[in-house]
A = this chain, B = another copy of it.
């Protein structure tokens, strides 16, 4: 099957290279911006791909909503299978694109959009066919895992490890989407859609690592914990819960073995039990390998990853809870249901009683409105 590629950045180049060696696949045209069409296989007009009857599938690795959305729609309308690595696109327009693919009888797969080289959504989708998924989650952002791992192994402060991550190419010049947890949140949205047939579009909570300090790290290391940025999702009544927050895990947890910029995805299924998947969550060839595995699935007959008529829902995070570690100005500690408190130099470090995710994130938002500097992390029990 001949495969055209939309976008020729880091991942696009990796996909093109892998297509040259894959069984049953070969590279077709590559769509680039005008002026970048410096080779015979590069075109600047989507109709050169949608109008080519020899092209069987299109890989979209542009990122962002437009023009990706329009071009993916055009490819599906032209009867081409589509494989994408674009999590923003699928989180925003996934249900409509999946329905269009189903209508046209072609594939729409997006494994590379969640977990990079870690075969998360592929296995999740497969498990939904015969098993019931109970929870999804994991460490879904490699940039922040690199930063957390560096802070904890070297005792370095946030600003220093962010600079390192940028120099290594792990973090963008504007790192907001990664460090705020938004990137991980989009990924857990996709996992919820695949696992529970519901795409949570509102009512979501994400807390990042921007406020973490070396002193916080030292404190929770003294408690025997390791901090990871963890995403979680699961079904609740007729919707789902889904959130991202720094999480303190005990030394025995698989999450502690996730070093550098690796990812860990996990899900629990009623029959299969706990399934944990680790690997490279980003990077040219790991991400390209996820695209290529989707293309192999297309060849062997897999079709649409997102369930039919996947509903957009408002998430409900008021039913799941756990204790939290919260560092905040001493004067505000009374606003929390404290279990243990240590105070030094006007700063309180609180271990709370069990609090719901909604209540904790809302409380911290209110504290920040009052000007309080706060870091908080869930505690894995």
Contact = CB atoms under 8 A, between A and B. Distances in A.
Interface in A8-27: 14, 18, 21-25
A141 interface: no
Contact of A269 (B275, B276, B277, B289): B289
Interface residues of A, number: 52
Q: By DSSP majority rule, is chain A's interface helix, strand, loop, or mixed? A: mixed
Interface string A19-44: 00111110000000000000000000
A45 interface: no
A285 interface: yes
A336 B138 CA distance: 45
A279 interface: yes
Contacts of A70: none
For the complex formed by this chain, how many copies does it contain in all?
Answer: 2
B279 A273 contact: yes
A12 B280 CA distance: 36
A195 to B, nearest CB: 14
Nearest to A266: B278
Interface string A295-308: 11101111100000
Contacts of A303: 300
A299 to B, nearest CB: 8
Most buried by B among A23, A122, A130: A130
Interface string A121-161: 01100110111000000000000000000000000000000
20 contacts: A14-B271, A22-B129, A22-B130, A117-B271, A117-B272, A117-B273, A119-B119, A119-B126, A127-B293, A129-B296, A130-B292, A271-B285, A271-B292, A272-B285, A272-B289, A273-B283, A275-B278, A276-B276, A300-B302, A301-B301
